[in-house]
């Protein structure tokens, strides 16, 4: 009798399992989140989205179900990216991030066009001039220019994103910093200072905006072979060929063997932070550097033991 009862229980269990699978519930229970559209229904403003990291992020956001406002000063490139993504998914607006009213207008455009704003990714930035041989030759006018684009504009984006998001008690703000904010000697003092300012600002405003349900995070990528990065390396090493310049960025400035950092890697990091999968992540600086800032060998070329 006990064996019969056990057998009947097992059969009932199999019947329930079969019904679950036949109703399609298995697909929902066991489907991978990586195959879902992580930003479905979300609306985003991305600055500097006409090229480089911003362009890759705009495409990755749309691929994951978001609608995006491409905000940039590169009008032809920005319109081309928006056209490629489709009128329903993307719009372009001219936005000089050093002009606060342009930033405010980009935010307002998202709300006017889509009725909401879920994500602002403050990504626009400049590398600036190569570091002078001596700090005594540092150009403070260049410092003011770089800080205006890289730091002040980020705070403007946070300000106007919060203006819309705080009343809704929801939203996500992202800011592009850099590995230069974490490790000295990666870039010029001016650029490094501008990016370190972003990380400090993110921590400060994340604390305040947490009370309004708004998350704020930074992304710190290492060297990527974007036109901007390749250009500054070529300017720093004028005798180098184009191939040598690219190798400096993709190999000599990297730590993780067998791969190299691409704009799509940063874009996917942004998708994660903007998604509900990161709903409890705020005030964080996500370093995307293949371990470059983790540490360095004491001796790059140790003497032979023989």
Q: 80 in a domain, yes or no?
A: yes
Helix (H) or strand (E) holding 205: helix 189-209
Query: For position 283, which CATH number holds?
Result: 3.40.50.720
Q: 260 in a domain, yes or no?
A: yes
Q: 91 in a domain, yes or no?
A: yes
- The catalytic residue positions are 191
Nearest residue to 53 via CA among 107, 103, 118, 123:
123
Q: 12 in a domain, yes or no?
A: no
Q: 150 in a domain, yes or no?
A: yes
Q: 283 in a domain, yes or no?
A: yes
Q: 295 in a domain, yes or no?
A: no
Query: Do residues 216 and 202 make contact, with C-beta atoms less than 8 angstroms apart?
Result: yes
**How many domains does the structure of the chain reveal?**
1
Query: pLDDT (tens digit, 9 = 90+) per residue, 155-201?
Result: 999 999 999 999 999 999 999 999 999 998 888 999 999 999 999 99
Q: Which two tokens stand for residue 133?
A: 């041989």
Where in the sequence is the domain holding 62, given as residue range(s)? Answer: 37-288
| Distance separating alpha carbons of residues 9 and 25, to the nearest angstrom | 22
Nearest residue to 219 via CA among 128, 125, 297, 304:
125
pTM of the model: 0.82
Q: Going residue by residue through the chain (306 aa), what tens digit of pLDDT does each one get?
A: 544 555 555 545 545 444 543 444 434 433 444 458 999 999 999 999 999 999 999 999 999 999 999 999 999 999 999 999 999 999 999 999 999 999 999 999 999 999 999 999 999 999 888 888 888 999 999 999 999 999 999 999 999 999 999 999 999 999 999 999 999 888 899 999 999 999 999 999 999 999 999 999 999 998 887 777 777 677 778 888 888 777 776 666 667 777 788 999 999 999 999 999 999 999 999 999 888 888 776 666 666 655
Sign of CA dihedral 225, 228, 233, 237: positive
Q: 256 in a domain, yes or no?
A: yes
Q: C-alpha dihedral over 266, 180, 147, 82, to 10 degrees?
A: -10
């Amino acid at each position: 009798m006990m064996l019969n009862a056990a057998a009947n229980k097992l059969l009932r269990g199999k019947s329930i399992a079969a019904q679950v699978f036949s109703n399609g519930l298995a697909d929902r229970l066991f489907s991978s989140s990586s195959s879902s559209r992580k930003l479905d229904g979300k609306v985003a403003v991305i600055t500097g989205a006409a090229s480089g990291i911003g362009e890759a992020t705009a495409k990755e956001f749309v691929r994951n179900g978001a609608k995006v406002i491409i905000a940039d000063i590169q009008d032809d490139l920005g319109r081309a990216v928006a056209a490629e993504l489709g009128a329903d998914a993307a719009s372009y607006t001219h936005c000089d991030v050093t002009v606060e009213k342009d930033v405010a207008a980009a935010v307002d455009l998202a709300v006017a066009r889509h009725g909401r704003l879920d994500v602002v990714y403050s990504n626009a930035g400049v590398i600036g001039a190569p570091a002078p041989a001596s700090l005594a030759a540092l150009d403070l006018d260049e410092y003011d220019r770089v800080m205006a684009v890289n730091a002040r504009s980020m705070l403007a984006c946070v300000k106007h994103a919060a203006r819309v998001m705080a009343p809704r008690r929801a939203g996500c703000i992202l800011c592009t910093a850099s590995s230069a904010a974490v490790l000295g000697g990666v870039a010029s003092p001016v650029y490094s200072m501008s990016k370190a300012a972003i990380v400090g600002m993110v921590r400060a405003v994340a604390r305040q905006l947490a009370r309004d349900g708004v998350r704020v995070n930074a992304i710190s990528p290492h060297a990527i072979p974007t036109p901007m990065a390749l250009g500054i390396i070529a300017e720093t090493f004028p005798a180098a060929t184009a191939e040598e310049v690219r190798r400096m960025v993709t190999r000599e400035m990297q730590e993780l063997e067998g791969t190299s950092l691409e704009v799509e890697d940063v874009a996917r990091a942004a998708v994660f932070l903007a998604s509900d999968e990161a709903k409890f992540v705020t005030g964080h600086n996500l370093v995307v550097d293949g371990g470059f800032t983790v540490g360095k060998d004491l001796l790059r070329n140790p003497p032979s033991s023989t």
